[in-house]
Amino acid sequence: MNKGMKIGICGGTFDPIHLGHLAVAEMVRSEMGLDKILFIPSGKPPHKDLDSVTDPIHRLKMVQCAVSTNPNFEAVSIEIERRGYTYTVDTLKQLYGLYPGRTEFYYIIGADVVMDLLKWKRAEEVFTLTKFIALMRPGFRNEEFESNINHLKSRYDADITSFQAPLIEISSTFIRDRIKNGKSVKYFITESVEKYIKENKLYI
C-alpha cells in the first residue's frame, strides 16, 4: 500500500508546535511532491536540557491537535515511546518498519543543521537511510552552506536538496513567553493547540 511513497520528516521538541512549523512543512510537501509529512516530537533529545522541556505526552498531544485538519500530516509517537536518548538513526530504522515498500524519506532540517550532520550518531548510516531537505532562510550565508553540502555529497554520498523557505518570525520560546505573561497567542498557534494549552495550564 505504501509502495513508492515519498515521506517528509519534521522532528523537534515542538514545545509548542506553531503555525510556522505547519506553514513551512506544507510548502515543502507541496513543492517537493511529498505524499505526507510526519511530525515526530523528540522524546529525550541528547542536546536538550530536559528540565526545560515540557512533558513529551503534552507535546505529542499538541502536535496531534495541530495536524488533525491536514490529511497529509501525521503525528508520530515513536521517539517519545523509546527509552533512553533518541537518535535519528534509530528513528529512521523504525520508520522503515512502519512504512514498508519502496518508501523514500526526506528529513527536513534548517540550513544551519547541515554544518552539524557529521556530529549525528552514525551519520554515515543516516545518509544511507534518508535524503535531506535543507531550509534556506533569507540572509543565510550561501557560500558556506553550499561548501558543506558539496563536501557531504562527495565524501559521504549524502543527498541534500536546498529549499528556499520564507522567514516566519515565530518561535516556541516566543509563544511560551507570551503565555507566561498573559498575552494573546492567537494566530501564532492553532485554536486547538491554544485550547489544549489552556485546559492543561501549560507555560504559566
pLDDT in tens, 129-164: 999 999 998 777 678 888 899 999 999 999 999 999
* 12 within some domain: yes
pLDDT at 1 (0 to 100): 44
pLDDT at 145 (0 to 100): 84
Polymer length in residues for the chain: 204
| pLDDT tens digits, one per residue of 175-187 | 999 999 999 999 9
CATH code assigned at 133? 3.40.50.620
pLDDT at 47 (0 to 100): 64
CB atoms within 10 A of CB 87: 18
At residue 133, the 3 state secondary structure works out as strand
Cβ neighbours of residue 64 under 8 Å, at least 6 residues apart?
75
**For the chain, how many structural domains are there in total?**
1
Contact assessment for residue 37 and residue 73, using Cβ atoms and an 8 Å cutoff: yes
pLDDT at 191 (0 to 100): 98
C-alpha cell at position 72: 497529509
* 14 within some domain: yes
* 83 within some domain: yes
Domain limits for position 25: 6-199
Instruction: Enumerate the β-bridge partners of residue 189.
Output: 186
Q: At 155, which amino acid appears?
A: R
- Average pLDDT for residues 88-111, to the nearest whole number? 94
* 60 within some domain: yes
Does residue 89 register a pLDDT over 80? yes
* 56 within some domain: yes
Cβ neighbours of residue 131 under 8 Å, at least 6 residues apart?
104, 105, 106, 107, 159, 160, 161
| pLDDT tens digits, one per residue of 8-67 | 999 999 999 999 999 999 999 999 999 999 999 998 766 666 668 999 999 999 999 999
- Cα torsion 33, 190, 21, 101 to 10°: value is -40
* 1 within some domain: no
* 100 within some domain: yes
pLDDT at 2 (0 to 100): 44
Q: What is the mean pLDDT of the chain?
A: 93
Does residue 97 register a pLDDT over 90? yes
* 204 within some domain: no
pLDDT at 81 (0 to 100): 94
Does residue 68 register a pLDDT over 80? yes
